[in-house]
Amino acid sequence: MNGNHLVPDQILDYSRANGVEVLLLQEVPTSGNRLVGFDYSAVRTVLSCKEGSARAAIVVLNQDIEVVALQGLSDRHFAVASLRKRHGQAVVFVSAYFKYSIQTHIFTARLGLILDSIDQDIVIGADVNAHSPQWFSRPGNNTGSARGTHVESLIAEKHLTVHNQPGRLVTYERHGMGSSNIDVTLTRGGSLVNSVSEWDVLDITDSDHRTIRFKIRIGSGPEGPAIGKRRFNTRKADWDRFRWVLAQKVLGDPETMVGGCDVVAGALTRALGQAMEASMPRSRKSARIKPPWWDAGLEESKRRLNNFRRTRDYKVADRDQFRVLRNEHLKKIRRAKMESWRKFATSINSDIWGPVYRWARNGSSKSRIPSSVLREDGTFTVTALETAECLLESLIPRDVTAPIFEHGIVERERPEVTEAEVKRAVWRMAPNKAPGLDGITAGVLRKAWGVIGTPLTSVLRECLRRSVFPDCWKTAEVVVISKGQDRDPSLPKSYRPVSLLSAPSKVLERLVVDRLEEETGGALSEEQHGFRVGKSTISAIKSCLDWVDNSQEMVVGVFLDISGAFDNLRWNILIRDMMTLGASDATRSIIQSYLTGRRAVLSVEGATAFADLTRGCPQGSQLGPSLWNLSMDRALVTNNDDRVKLVAYADDLAVLIAGSDILDIQGRARATLGALRDWAELRGLTFSASKSQAIPLKGGLRSGFTVPFGAQDIVAVDSVRYLGVELDSKRNFWAHVSIVAGKSESLYSRLRAASSADWGLRQSTSAVIYRAVFLPRITYAAEIWAKGVLTKKAIKLLGSKQRRALRSLTGAYSTTSTDALQVVAGQLPLDLEIRWHVVRTRRKAGQISEEEMSDQWDRLLDIWQDRWDSSVKGRWTYGIFPDIRRRLVLPLEVDHYVCQFLTGHGDFNSKLESFNLRGEAMCRCETEDESVDHVLYRCPLLSAERDRVIRQIGEDVWPCETKVFMDTRSNYCALRRFAREAIEAKRSSDRLGLVPG
């Protein structure tokens, strides 16, 4: 593709018209980690690497093809993927680019390794930059022939078949550089030798490399079982019809709602599904590969360009004419793209949390193509089914035999289930949370409540009475979520499994949870802070640090990592823990039913793996967290040493050990951690010593010492991240301040790209995001670490990291000082904002009075005022806003234009020249340097605009002090109008090269 940005459009045009399903591309144009020109929802791409330097790619245009990226075999010059059509066998495709400046034997060796690693049939599309009679190259230079020898040797050694045909256009031709066949189509595998047909070379793009087209016939392969997964577009539902059909199914034939719990639960679930099928469309994958900005004008422009290419000698004789026509077409494309982008960016003002915000928060959509994963034997999965099976086996561990539960539980009495209780359980769930396999969301249950409220309550009541959890609600769809972009996608442990469950199932779970917590809640340790009312991550951190502060000895903190905690818990020990903590026989009985016969299904590209569950608490369930708390409680009670403290939040376990010296601490650690290892082993859990961390928290110990943990040691470090807060051995929280200061930088960097002076994100919209997203991210757990913001270096760092957000709020130039940005935006300096958050938190907790909170606010404003008074920066702004308190009560609408006059930084020659951004400081009027003061008060080119301001302000006070513009709303509006007119007048004259008269 030669990196040509027009070629993708040309290839996609041809592909749409001719039913092309797969593209093998080399020398691809990339931006960041995406393939330029192919980023449409229906187009799936496999890049040869993710670092933005990819030179090869595989593009799949058919939504029905299963795709697995073989990342372990790919590198910068090779993209490798396994493709499979329904009812067909899996075939590995390789797109290879042999860069001319790199010796060919390096590429042939790499391709040889790829071939040796794969047993499946392989199709290779390669730009080999080499000559050989085998692919009908014209006689070339000695270098090209020598390169071809390396490729020929690989073909012979690996038993590859060359599919290039004679008598076709050459695959490469460039004016002044010659022409030849240097692009090769290869296959390996007996079934493919005679399966390639209609091989041809087409001149359909502007690339120097022509397009090779061929068809390939794939043999049949095994089909896995279908899982009956359904997803509905509830936004387009006809809810009246939904309720009518549902009533016919549930109330019209009473016999369907008669029978045991399994029968009635199944009938109710089917009725909901049938009503949804009759009243709302299913969610479908987008099939559009035409860009949203394409219009009739571009279609006509493209038609003229293609007609010129077909009828004229566009590469030689008519080359200049073609370039003019092509550049005009590219200009129209860029204009259409920009207009579409502006429309998209501006939509955030009417839908703040919609697609623009999601893009700003998460970046461009990540690849939807799953990666192959590494098996325990060191080999990689190749097909989608192999990948699904490997992930399920690694993430959902299972025992060889199912657990043996206690039988003969006879006590069944429970409080009666009421319709009001069931309704509360339904309404507690998020209405649009991802559903299970049946597609039923909590939102659907809400809409159906008038019809199913009574029958649903009836079946749930019977389930609790009989201690039966219906089998139809026991199958979980497992989806895997990456633990972070820094994780290796080929390792199964880089993913977290989440169970998607039927909404009716979760309603019954909620009823069981309420009874379980009522029975056991009083017996749980106060040091379990996860999933409990009145507890949080902050209460867990505070409990740890308060204990450290109250200790009179050295203290070491050990933070333990439990490998796959939720997914490995043994059920029979869990039931025993429930009995120990006081769960009733009836509650234990229905939880036994809940755990018995559970299944998990995991789909990768439509290929589905199944597993019978024998252990673990499903992540994503209502019961899982409560069941985990019961087992974790047994860990907390293993400690009987008053110089040791255990604190838990979900599966995060902190062990604080005090002692007179390091030997004393190590001895206590050995005993405490040994007891915890016994607790874990009994429950099928393991601690990871390599991922666990230790840190000195008190007493002057330095990092580097070890804490014994079984056969391994945990080495102490200077800082650890615990529940989102970076704890450091000095307890000054500088490490946390450094980390938190960088939060949301990428968010505001993207928001900056979605805003301009006249379109995109408005400053008022940015203010909402600032208060609702930016500040909560920064101030999380500030009551723990706020003392870390008191140092000068912390104040400076936080201020510098606040700049990007403040510029989004104001539209200010990047040269504006932080001091001025804070005042113009009317936002507290970030260190003071953090301190104010702590004050408000203490007031909310009842720790201080309203009067004390008001006094603290005044002190913070005094600090800000002192800084503003003494600052040497932003003095023009200081003249407008000398009083911080006055600025905070002014409801100013700030935009890109007026901000230049509020800060003095903008399109003023004098200011730009001082930053070496403009050649001279002189104004266009040639009377003096162009400063904000000159433009506002004296420039003769703006007399008419200035006269309107003077009439508003009053001739008797003109020229006025700048702070007068803030005296009244009309004065400020006059300044805003003048600012826009002045800046637009200058830009207009700059474009025309004229001085306005």
The per-residue pLDDT for range 732-780, each reduced to its tens digit, is 999 999 998 887 788 888 888 888 877 888 888 899 999 999 999 999 9
At 787 the three-state DSSP class reads helix
What gap in Å lies between CA 356 and CA 349, rounded to an integer? 10
Backbone CA torsion sign across 583, 585, 591, 592:
positive
- Span(s) in the chain for CATH 3.60.10.10: 7-216
Q: pLDDT class for 589, splitting at 50, 70, 90?
A: very high
Lowest-pLDDT range of 20-34, 65-79, 238-252: 20-34
Task: Give the count of alpha carbons within 13 A of 304, CB side only.
Answer: 15
What gap in Å lies between CA 392 and CA 380, rounded to an integer? 15
Q: Going by DSSP bridges, is the β-strand pair 44-47/34-35 parallel, antiparallel, or unpaired?
A: unpaired
Q: pLDDT class for 996, splitting at 50, 70, 90?
A: very low
Q: pLDDT class for 997, splitting at 50, 70, 90?
A: very low
Those residues with Cβ within 8 angstroms of residue 15's Cβ, 6 or more apart along the chain or in another chain:
23, 61, 289
pLDDT digits (tens, 9 = 90+) for 860-898: 999 999 999 999 999 999 999 999 999 999 999 999 999
pLDDT digits (tens, 9 = 90+) for 373-428: 999 888 889 888 999 999 999 888 877 666 666 654 445 566 689 999 999 999 99
CA angle 734-735-737, nearest 5°? Answer: 60
The DSSP code for 503 is: H
Q: What is the mean pLDDT of the chain?
A: 90
pLDDT digits (tens, 9 = 90+) for 261-278: 999 999 999 999 999 999
Q: Which residue has the tokens 């020398």?
A: 27
What gap in Å lies between CA 709 and CA 693, rounded to an integer? 11
Which of 643, 632, 697, 695 lies closest to 668, judged by CA? 643
At 659 the three-state DSSP class reads strand
**Domain 7-216: which CATH number of 3.40.50.620, 3.40.1190.20, 3.60.10.10, 3.30.70.980:** 3.60.10.10
- Does 810 score more than 80 pLDDT? yes
| Structure confidence at residue 87 (pLDDT) | 76
pLDDT digits (tens, 9 = 90+) for 927-985: 999 999 999 999 999 999 999 999 999 988 999 999 999 999 999 999 999 999 999 99
| Structure confidence at residue 995 (pLDDT) | 45
What gap in Å lies between CA 9 and CA 5, rounded to an integer? 8
Task: For residue 735, give both structure tokens.
Answer: 């490490």
Task: Give the count of alpha carbons within 13 A of 177, CB side only.
Answer: 8
pLDDT > 70: percent of the chain: 94
Q: Is 622 exposed, middle or buried (0-12, 13-18, 19+ CB in 10 A)?
A: buried
Contact 600, 393 (CB under 8 A): no
Which of 566, 682, 685 lies closest to 617, judged by CA? 566
pLDDT > 90: percent of the chain: 64
Q: pLDDT class for 333, splitting at 50, 70, 90?
A: confident
